[in-house]
Structure 1
Amino acid sequence: MTVALQLPGGRRAGPANAAVILRFSDWPALATLSAGQIGQLAEDYVENRVGIEGSMRDIMLAAAHLLPGSPVASDTGWWTQMMRRAKSLAAHSPQRDARQIQFHYDVSDDFYALWLDPRRVYSCAYYREPGMSLAQAQEAKLDHICRKLMLRAGERFLDIGAGWGGLLLWAAEHYGVQATGITLSKNQHAHVHRLIEEKGLRGRVRIHLMDYRELNESQGFDKIASVGMFEHVGQANMPLYFAKIQRLLKPGGLAMNHGITAASVHPGQLGAGMGDFIGKYIFPGGELLHTSQVLRDLAGAGLEMLDTENLRPHYARTLWAWSDALESHLPDAARVLERTGRAAEAGKVLRAYRLYLAGCAMSFERGWISLHQILAARPDGNMSTGALRGAQSTYPFTREYMYPS
């Protein structure tokens, strides 16, 4: 990988045919590069203090080589951990979570439509077969989740963080469930409501603009899914989150938690300024935990982990598909963003998303972050429930049903 630098004043260093060119207008930004602070360099690009030329794949390869070491969090000091927990607790009130979700998901529906699949599924796809397109892999993911949950016609199904309705509508149309979804995004809520009316699903599918903490627990759900949502919950609220799912779930029912997890076993964020960049421009309030801590909090809430599957490389491929799609629509994306309420920041938003999608693809490829699907049950205490004595849920305790021939 060849990189050339254009220094303040116009002098150039590096090969003439370099794959990546970094253009600096001042010396402090160049000092950031020499320190390996990739996140700050990304911020300088978003704020137009640094110019970057080259394909996103080449730029990410260059970025990886500029890092002084692994960016996986390694600060395990008690004071650091205590402060992170306190910050997490303060960052995740219902009001702040609503603002943080809307900051990201309400950028523009038309903007997301340029680079997502037609169903606008904004989470890790499942490339069950190598030759699948993004749209096919997203449908495979939706069906994979429904199969894992063993959805049956007439069951009450809850989708926490329903996005643009991909899973909610798939479960209703293909598995005949009574589906309820919630979201904090006003744009997503309006979009899903329109789809419900267009598809004639009123009475079978509902979408609510509400926080998961506000869900009524008087009527339980047979099955629950949470896809790409718990990253917004926060370390401090994770026990509360899983306890809420446990109370919403009928005894013997199944719940699927699908979300991004950290590579470090200690709470934190990616180093070299990468986590700070994501928090500032993309996902304010987002927090990642190692799957071991997720499983501990899940078990502490009275849920039994049944099956855990790592889909990390699937998310790398998904993100590259999104990145490639956005790169192929840059002029359209700029025009769409200029029509939004954040028109003055359209250029910043576009530059931030270009780096975010490609940077996350690289991070999943290199194992700096991961993606786990965790299937759990609320045991019903009945030794005769299920195919095997002591199952205490509908789960058959084999994986055969998940992968039918």
Structure 2
Amino acid sequence: MSTLKPMTTPSIDGNATAPRSGAPARWIATVSARLQSLPVRTRLELPGGIAVGAEHASVVLRLLDARLLPLLALGQVGRLAEAYVEGQLQIDGTMRDLAEVAAALVPGDPTRLDDAAGPARWWSRLRRSSRSLSRHQPRRDREQIEFHYDVSNDFYALWLDPRRVYSCAYWPDGVNTLAAAQEAKLELLCRKLMLRPGERLLDVGAGWGALLLWAAEHHGVRAHGITLSTQQHAYVMRLIAERGLADRVSIALCDYRDVPEHGTDGGPYDKIASIGMFEHVGRAQLLPYFRKLRRLLKPGGLLMNHGITAGGLHNEQLGAGIGDFVERYIFPGGELVHVSHVMAAMAEAGLETLDVENLRPHYARTLWAWSDALEARLDAARALTSERVVHAYRLYLAGSAMGFERGWMSLNQLLASRPDGKVGATPVRGAQSVYPFQRDHLYRS
């Protein structure tokens, strides 16, 4: 079970001795005015019986420490989320209503965190790069992955689909259940990779094995996955044995940097999938990451990189304290980069981008499905983890759905190849890979 880190209680105007039971009138007045402008009827209750906002409210925020009031006045929703996890704030209302309130409270655009010019921007980027390098060494990566994914297999099973696909689903017309949407996503990935029977597929960050098993059972490939999560590894090993797929599917507890590049158990692979993985790699390690994948990929082979990207060009996380909350309680070490930076790193690594598809609204819908499922089983979730973990994930799922709806984050599938340099050796002259440079193969029944 993950151990959530404690937060410190802020003070009003930096005054650490501010009384816990009172709050300056100016903060109360500011908050009262803000509550009146919210899209959902909201009431704030303070210690001492003070209440402001709507009388018949859909969302009630109950501050147990009045020193948190400035956070609400200033729209620091991430710090308020920390207060909720730590038991200093109580919330009544649905997660969907709460997300609307949080979005309205955020001041300005939370993706614009690096607007400094000249030397200031240069120094900011240097500091960010140094921080990213220090956070993404093998030992720290393993610790950070285990912090998130080893909370509890059974906890994730409460709100994921039966295949436990923990990444953006695909919702084509007529698909209305999470299970069907995740199967549609798995099939979309396999079609984009143009998987053929007998090919070798590497799944980097294989999760609970959904893509490995789908690709082997529906497309006849030999699939190998890697993960840093001991719980996921044990779970997938059990599935492989139960389904009698040991001759075609395998998974290793392994860092991507340590995947063999040659030999019977190593590369090169015909196709590689990186699904929801590169967000954990870190901005400073993107180029080495894609260079490693290129070396693992056969000349002419295809790579699918599916993951969360930043809504802004320069921010690595969201403002208003949102990114700090996610870093502390959900994804330590996670970093966002704009899709243009991802494509630049792939190109510098020698990979040619072939196709880009933005599935941002699909992820918002996926996250709401996860959120609704968790909300329906809160008692079971508490029995498997702790109240603090449940509080953190309630806000994380609903808040992320809200962020994708508003374009603060995005989700992109980038298909790339390792060009083989053989101009006339493919059906499409100059393709230098199996890719046909059109999408007809995706939509054939």
Same structural fold, with TM-score higher than 0.5 when normalized by the shorter chain:
yes
Supply the distance in 2 between the matched residues of 1:397 and 1:310 (Cα, whole angstroms): 18
Contact preservation (8 Å) 1:159, 1:179? yes
Deviation at 1:7, TM superposition (A): 1.1
Unaligned stretches of 5+ in structure 1? Answer: 338-345
Supply the distance in 2 between the matched residues of 1:366 and 1:158 (Cα, whole angstroms): 33
Among candidates 253, 256, 262, match of residue 301 of structure 2? 253
Confirm or deny that 1:34 pairs with 2:73.
yes
User: What is the TM-score of this pair, normalised by structure 2?
Assistant: 0.88
Structure-2 residue corresponding to 1:289: 337
Runs of 4+ deviating beyond 3 Å? none
Q: How many residues align?
A: 397
Structure-2 residue corresponding to 1:44: 83
Q: Which amino acid aligns with 2:279?
A: E
Deviation at 1:404, TM superposition (A): 1.6
Q: Residue 344 of structure 2: SS of its match in structure 1?
A: helix
Confirm or deny that 1:398 pairs with 2:445.
no
Per-residue Cα deviation, 1:88-138 (whole angstroms, up to 9, x for no partner): 000000110000000000000000000000000000000012442000000
Q: Which amino acid aligns with 2:238?
A: R
Among candidates 343, 368, 374, match of residue 414 of structure 2? 374
Q: Which amino acid aligns with 1:402?
A: L
Contact preservation (8 Å) 2:78, 2:325? yes
Among candidates 142, 149, 153, match of residue 98 of structure 1? 142
Supply the distance in 2 between the matched residues of 1:153 and 1:276 (Cα, whole angstroms): 45
State which structure, 1 or 2, has the greater radius of gyration over its C-alpha atoms. 2
Unaligned stretches of 5+ in structure 2? Answer: 1-39, 116-120
Moved more, 376-385 or 103-112: 376-385
Per-residue Cα deviation, 1:20-62 (whole angstroms, up to 9, x for no partner): 0000112211111111111001001110111111000000101
Confirm or deny that 1:236 pairs with 2:284.
yes
Moved more, 223-232 or 11-20: 11-20
Confirm or deny that 1:134 pairs with 2:187.
no
Among candidates 388, 397, 400, match of residue 360 of structure 1? 400
Contact preservation (8 Å) 2:196, 2:221? yes
Structure-2 residue corresponding to 1:340: none
Contact preservation (8 Å) 2:227, 2:253? yes
Structure-1 residue corresponding to 2:12: none
Supply the distance in 2 between the matched residues of 1:383 and 1:276 (Cα, whole angstroms): 49
Structure-2 residue corresponding to 1:81: 125
Q: Which amino acid aligns with 1:193?
A: M
Deviation at 1:269, TM superposition (A): 1.1
Supply the distance in 2 between the matched residues of 1:385 and 1:303 (Cα, whole angstroms): 19
Per-residue Cα deviation, 1:306-330 (whole angstroms, up to 9, x for no partner): 0000000000000000000000000
Supply the distance in 2 between the matched residues of 1:225 and 1:15 (Cα, whole angstroms): 50
Per-residue Cα deviation, 1:343-387 (whole angstroms, up to 9, x for no partner): xxx111110000000000000000000000000000001112322
Q: Residue 113 of structure 1: SS of its match in structure 2?
A: helix
Q: Which amino acid aligns with 2:431?
A: A
Q: Which amino acid aligns with 1:11?
A: I
Among candidates 50, 63, 78, match of residue 102 of structure 2? 63
User: What is the TM-score of this pair, normalised by structure 1?
Assistant: 0.97
Supply the distance in 2 between the matched residues of 1:63 and 1:130 (Cα, whole angstroms): 31
Deviation at 1:200, TM superposition (A): 0.1
Supply the distance in 2 between the matched residues of 1:240 and 1:94 (Cα, whole angstroms): 13
Confirm or deny that 1:334 pairs with 2:382.
yes
Contact preservation (8 Å) 1:9, 1:25? no
Among candidates 212, 224, 230, match of residue 272 of structure 2? 224
Contact preservation (8 Å) 2:111, 2:315? no
CA-atom RMSD, angstroms? 0.9
Confirm or deny that 1:120 pairs with 2:150.
no
Contact preservation (8 Å) 2:175, 2:181? no
Q: What is the correspondence of 1:180-199 to structure 2 with a 5 Å cutoff?
A: 180-199=224-243
Structure-2 residue corresponding to 1:107: 151
Supply the distance in 1 between the matched residues of 2:299 and 2:146 (Cα, whole angstroms): 34
Per-residue Cα deviation, 1:229-271 (whole angstroms, up to 9, x for no partner): 1000000000000000100000000000000000111142100
Per-residue Cα deviation, 1:248-295 (whole angstroms, up to 9, x for no partner): 000000000000000111142100000000000000000010000000
Contact preservation (8 Å) 1:73, 1:268? no
Moved more, 167-176 or 128-137: 128-137
Confirm or deny that 1:276 pairs with 2:315.
no
Per-residue Cα deviation, 1:128-153 (whole angstroms, up to 9, x for no partner): 12442000000000000000000000
Structure-2 residue corresponding to 1:343: none
Supply the distance in 2 between the matched residues of 1:214 and 1:55 (Cα, whole angstroms): 44
Q: Residue 314 of structure 1: SS of its match in structure 2?
A: helix
Among candidates 233, 238, 244, match of residue 200 of structure 1? 244
Percent identity of equivalent pairs: 61
> Does the C-alpha gap of structure 1 residues 301 and 98 become closer, same or farther in structure 2, counting only changes over 3 Å?
same
Supply the distance in 1 between the matched residues of 2:196 and 2:186 (Cα, whole angstroms): 15
Q: Residue 323 of structure 1: SS of its match in structure 2?
A: helix
Contact preservation (8 Å) 1:385, 1:394? no
